[in-house]
Structure 1
Amino acid sequence: MMVGVSDIPRSSSARTAKLASIPLGIAGRAAVGFGRKLVGGDREEIDAKLTQQAAEQLFTVLGELKGGAMKLGQALSVMEAAVPEEFAEPYREALTKLQAEAPPLPAKKVHRVLGEQLGSKWRDRFASFDDTPTASASIGQVHRAVWSDGREVAVKVQYPGADEALRADLRTLSRFAGMFSSVIPGADVKPVLEELTARTEDELDYRIEANNQRAFAAEFAGDPRFAIPKVVASSPKVVITEWMSATPLSTIIASGTAEQRNSAGALLAEFHFASPARVGLLHSDPHPGNFMMLEDGRLGVIDYGACAPMPGGLPPVLGRMVRLALEERFDELTELLRTNGFVLPGRNVTDQEIADYLRPFTDPIHTESFHFTRTWLQKAAGTATDFSSAQFRTARALNMPAEYVMIFRVLLGSVGICAQLDAYAPYMEILTKWLPGFTEDVRQAE
């Protein structure tokens, strides 16, 4: 039986108790597993079973609670490709489900929200309305309908109480941030939660999402590479957009041809670099559920609740850093990092340490077309998060300035999806065209 939204606990204490069950459950199973090892149980088999059970519990709880809990799960899901292979398999199915599935809001409650947001005669605005949702997410679900003028539309309805649940979850999850490293090795959840919290209020007002989407739709109207549905109507808790029929990116990840995967990866990378320059906004919710491939080869993009203002495009300093890394001018790069707040005050890092730390991540810019694979990403992420490695010690001296947190999370999320796609993407061509500061003479730019 699927749990309805009306059955999900909304009070802070009830949601906190549910979230607290995750580390307690993991600790309990670990103790049982340790006992089994003492009496001669197979170590690898026991560890594999514990990992699977931890994954199932984690993402079941996150999915049922929705709100900030599910948002965090979706944020983590794009980096599934970076999880070491011995841990990865139990997570893949749970993460994929979390990207697209969640318990639905009953029809009566949907109708009540529509009445509150669109007026008591809301049905007159539709030729037809399907009460069964086609998709559900962290704070709302989507219904397919036909607008009064005959257009097929997607109607996104925010869950009643989503605002309180989202705020409460993010506070609770911040207290439990450390537990995720025991379930997903190398997952640094704290900055992700801080960023999700910072943009909470914008995401709760669907009028802001609608305005973001209008800006993207206007800029990309008639574009041969990207498709953005037009906004039909909006209110604080409901947004209605034109319907877009296409193949979900999750389907292409699972069973797409090499040509489809390469095309999707290249377009995804281009979209995240091009949209700040073209729209002045960065689409900041990079998980496969928000992207799809149309039959004509365009990349369709939905869900504009999380967008970061980027007037003039991405920061030129980022382009200068990438150029210096490409040319292996690590002495200048280290100084640029220090002057722009990427090195913690009072900490010292050498040029060689920066070179060694960044080398695994710079592979995509050393070739015209780079093959993004899980193996490559696992190796790069594994080195950076290995407590005993020199790179990890370097990382502890580095800092992520607040204005760059979202940018790096989006770009890393995009890379994570490309690795899930096992795609080739022309990263150098994309950077050359769209990344400010990358093609400038770095000495002049400084």
Structure 2
Amino acid sequence: MERDPERDRLTGRMARFARVGVGLGGAAATFGANALFAGGDAQARNAKALKEALGRLKGPMMKVAQMFATVPDLLPPEFAAELAELQTNAPAMTGAFVRRRMAAELGPAWASRFAAFDVNPSAAASLGQVHRATALDGRPLAVKLQYPDMQSAVESDLSQLRTVLALGRQMFGAIDTSEIVVEISDRIREELDYGREAKAMRLYADFFAGRDDIAVPRPDLDLSTGRLIAMDWLDGRGLMSWKGADQETRNRIARTLFEAWWTPLIQLGVIHGDPHLGNYSFTEDFTHDGGGRLNLLDFGCIRIFPPRFVGGVVKLFRAMTTGDREGEAEAYRAWGFKGLTDDLMDVLHIWAKFIYGPLLDDRVRTVADGVAPGEYGRREAFQVKQALDEKGPVTIPREFVFMDRAAIGLGAAFLHLAAEQNWRQLFEASLEGFSEEALAERQARALAAVGLG
């Protein structure tokens, strides 16, 4: 009897839903016991129970958990620390399975479209794995192949988010997470669309086409589908391997990273929303005096902002520079915060002062003196959460989520490097000629050129 693929997908989805539910059910029991018997370490025990429940799975749900762990203000430190340790790597597909997947995407003669293809992955992550290959014209390629049935797995895991939030309602306090859930769900669904990623890659490649010090892989559309993307292979060393470089080289790395992240936001209204350190590499010849280049990698999580949101970023910087409280309120409203009161403004100012602190200080400095990379933003986030528990509630606007998340990840990268810059001068240089009207025009042209909505 012939197997029904749709039935198999439904069965797999239901089984996954059950596994997640059983794990979270165990966490719920622990939460309940801790509520009864309390104790000073109840939060730590709750956090560990949730981590263990999610850690039994590989793939999308763990990616969701890690996203939550890197959204400032959302989780108490105990939960953030536990969830940040979750590993997103899924078991690699075997060679035989890779061949079947490639045939499903490019047809039975797929191998004839490459001069060489290594069925053993060079890297594996939560939604897919990367293979080295060679194009027929000799170009080295990176080929990202999505795991099978990922859309079904993602939808099952996202549907469990409500359960996670119900279990952890006590840890969110006065913060309404509804918009955060919508935002994270939308971004993960976008990461499944490799066609969209190819367009985002072309957007960044076009934007940095005039710079020799920043490289973006170009997708090979003839060898790509919605679940397979072939692109230029860019050789380089990961960011962490540069921690022992001389101070001037580390400073240049930080300056290049800053420009690669902030300039597209100010000029195009887009950010690279995944702060993973593995998404940046540098060629071996990268030096303090201008040699070498930064490679930007992985364009699955690209957030496009309306010009008014970027205008809010600039307005808040200018308002904090001059002490203009009404200007700050206008910026928060542009970001989507509602029901602003003096008390809520005071709370938001704690976080804004942290994020904008290096940009307001007109001197050469680190982004946060004396702070470890893993602790960057944790103290301030906890202060904000405590204050909101007293003066809230507040709904975090969805557009704020990945902006904040990525900024924290970028700051942590600078701390890993112990880089020193005049961050204010770098930021002001990115603002040259800025206006919301000019941004709207540039953004519309750039997105239309690559077919990205």
Whether these two folds match at TM > 0.5 is yes
Q: Deviations over 1:361-408 (max 9, x none)?
A: 44222323343334552221121122xx3x5545534x4444444434
Q: 1:302 aligns with which of 297, 306, 310?
A: 297
1:276 aligns with 2:265: yes
**Matched residue, 2:357:** 363
* Range 412-421 or range 219-228, more displaced: 412-421
Q: Contact between 2:312 and 2:330, CA under 8 Å: does it hold in 1?
A: no
Deviations 1:118-171 (A, max 9, x none): 222111121221111111223211111122222221111112211111122112
Give the AA of the match of 1:19: V
Paired residue type of 1:57: E
| Partner deviation per Cα, 1:318-349 (whole Å, 9 max, x = no partner) | 2011211222222332255347642337x664
Conserved in 2, the CA contact under 8 Å of 1:432 and 1:439? no
Residues 167 and 324 from structure 1, CA distance in 2 versus in 1: closer, same or farther, beyond 3 angstroms? same
Distance 1:318 1:136 in 2: 35
Superposition TM-score, scaled by structure 2 size? 0.75
Question: 8 Å contact 1:133–1:142 — kept in the other structure?
Answer: yes
Residue 139 of structure 1 corresponds to which residue in structure 2?
127
Would the alpha carbon gap of residues 366 and 336 (structure 1) be closer, same or farther in structure 2, given more than 3 Å must change? closer
Rounded to whole Å, the distance in 2 between the matches of 1:200 and 1:352 is 33
Q: In the TM superposition, what are the counterparts of 1:210-221 in structure 2 within 5 Å?
A: 210-221=198-209
For 2:199, the aligned partner's letter is N
For 1:194-232, what per-residue CA distance to the aligned partner results, in whole angstroms no more than 9, with x for missing partners? 113224554333122112112212332362432211212
Q: Does 1:72 align with 2:60?
A: no
Counterparts in 2 of 1:28 and 1:353: CA distance versus 1, 3 Å:
closer
CA drift of 1:242 comes to: 1.1
Cα distance change, pair 352–302 in 1 and its aligned pair in 2 (3 A): closer
Residue in structure 1 matched with residue 384 of structure 2 by the alignment: 384
**Residue 238 of structure 2 corresponds to residue 248 of structure 1:** yes
Report the identity percentage: 26
Match of 1:12 in 2: 13
Distance in 2, matches of 1:261 and 1:377, equals 22
Aligned length: 415
CA 1:406 to 1:246, structure 2 compared with 1: closer, same or farther past 3 Å? same
2:424 aligned partner: 428
Map 1:47-196 to 2 at 5 A. 50=45, 53-54=48-49, 57-58=52-53, 60-62=55-57, 64=58, 66-67=59-60, 69-76=61-68, 78=70, 94-95=85-86, 97-98=87-88, 101-179=89-167, 190-196=178-184
Q: What is the TM-score with the length of structure 1 in the denominator?
A: 0.76
- Deviation per residue, 1:248-284 (Å, 9 max, x gap): 235557x777666554444333222112345553322
State whether structure 2 residue 384 is matched by structure 1 residue 396.
Answer: no
Question: Once structures 1 and 2 are overlaid, which stretch shifts more, 279-288 or 335-344?
Answer: 335-344
> Does structure 2 retain, via aligned residues, the 8 Å contact 1:135–1:141?
yes
Deviates most, 144-153 or 10-19: 10-19
Structure 1 residue runs of 5 or longer lacking an equivalent are 1-6, 441-446
Distance of 2:417 and 2:71 partners within structure 1: 12
**SS of the residue aligned with 1:325?**
helix
| Matches of 2:261 and 2:414, distance apart in 1 | 12
Separation in 2, partners of 1:34, 1:280: 45
Unpaired segments of 5 or more residues in structure 2? 1-7, 287-292, 437-453
Letter in 2 for 1:396: P
Give 1:302 deviation, angstroms: 1.3
SS in structure 1 opposite 2:129?
strand
Contact 1:113 1:160 in 2 (8 A): yes
Higher mean displacement: 259-268 or 292-301: 259-268
2:238–2:281 CA contact under 8 A, matched in 1 = yes
Structure 1 CA distance for aligned equivalents of residues 345 and 17 of structure 2: 45
Give the structure 1 partner of residue 324 of structure 2. 329
Paired residue secondary structure (2:234):
coil
- Give the whole-Å Cα distance in 1 for the aligned partners of 2:247 and 2:77: 22
The CA deviation string for residues 24-62 of structure 1, in whole angstroms up to 9 with x for no partner, is 334555678899999xxxx87x987x4785475255235
CA separation of 1:162 and 1:283: change in aligned 2, threshold 3 A: same
Q: Is the 8 A contact 2:239 2:282 kept in 1?
A: yes
Equivalent residue number for residue 286 of structure 1: 275
Distance apart, 1:291 and its partner CA: 2.0
Question: Is residue 180–residue 189 contact of structure 1 (8 Å, CA) maintained in 2?
Answer: no
